[in-house]
Amino acid sequence: MTGLLLAEIGRGAYGVVYEAVSGRSGARLAVKRIRCDAPENVELALAEFWALTSLRRQHPNVVRFEECVLQRHGLGQRMSHGNKRSQLYLRLVETSLKGERILGYAEEPCYLWFVMEFCEGGDLNQYVLSRRPDPATNTSFMLQLTSAIAFLHKNHIVHRDLKPDNILITEKSGTPVLKVADFGLSKVCAGLTARGKEGGHENRNVNVNKYWLSSACGSDFYMAPEVWEGHYTAKADIFALGIIIWAMIERITFIDAETKKELLGTYIKQGTEIVPVGEALLENPKMELHIPQKRRTSMSEGGRALLCFAAGFVYQGPTISIIYVQQERLKTREDDDTEDS
């Protein structure tokens, strides 16, 4: 990458995000720097690189990936050239990163720089909580999010860390557009299948709704009960989606114990304590959900029922594609009712 770092705009346990400007086009970019001298950092970097480079096309609601650069010994090696979908290419990146972690020195660490589109509107928390409730925006955001997750699942990617912090906002012709970001905990679902032409096994993608995962990862208030249990599929993303949408519509928030920030998120109240919905359902799968409601909105009862279905019944629930179709039909009916009134 040739360009100029302008300012730090975010910092987490595994990396720092900067606003930058491209030296070639002058466009604003977001650049994430991950230090690759710790095993957990390498794992996150590889997961994000694998997911973003496995996509064969872009989606308007998934953050656009430009390139990544491996910086070592003071030099940068561009890692996004060539065939991004080549299994050999991705394995080369994995070997390079792991080798650097093993052979590098503390005083001379290596970094992985991810270059992505810049989203000037902040994250979903900041956007929603700084504005008055708007049913039309809620409906638009619901459809955009569902479309993005349907796209990822169709491309065999389970995000595994959906939360308002990881949903960014930009604008197109004055209209807010959501971008799903941060794929550090994501999983590209693939498995060894039939033997290839050379006699070795081919690595082919599988159905994400039948691919079982066991790593209990994510953020507590958005994790499905089966994630807490350590045995889940891509439908765990649907649970997180329901939690986010419900909180967005009802303006349900909690204070994060670590950052002290106000965050969108649905929960169960048990006395004076708030408990993540997924954790509560794991302890009592037959629990009736009485989600706190801060205010009533004009959303239809059908929409509420759809959100309940998405958020509360993941084990045998529908796929994300089915939910997206249901939402489109629901929006069409609501638009028709508005025109008739």
> Active-site residue numbers?
161
Residue 294 known to bind ligand? no
Q: Compute CA distances 31 → 43, 153, 165, 180, 187, whole Å.
A: 18, 25, 17, 16, 22
Distance CA 289, CA 311 (A): 10
Nearest Cα neighbor of 161 from 145, 142, 135, 180 is: 180
Q: Which helix (H) or strand (E) holds 34?
A: strand 28-35
Cα–Cα separations (whole angstroms), residue 72 to 54, 97, 178? 24, 10, 34
146 near 324, Cβ under 8 Å?
yes
Give buried/exposed letters for 128-150 (b at 16+ CB in 10 A, else e): beeeebeeebbbbbbbbbbbbbb
The CA-atom distances, in angstroms, between 267 and each of 46, 274, 280 are 32, 6, 9
Token pair 């561009």 is at which residue?
A: 78
The strand pairing partners of 19, in sequence order, are 7, 30
Distance from C-alpha of 221 to C-alpha of 174, rounded to nearest angstrom: 32
Q: Which residues are annotated as a binding site for ATP?
A: 32
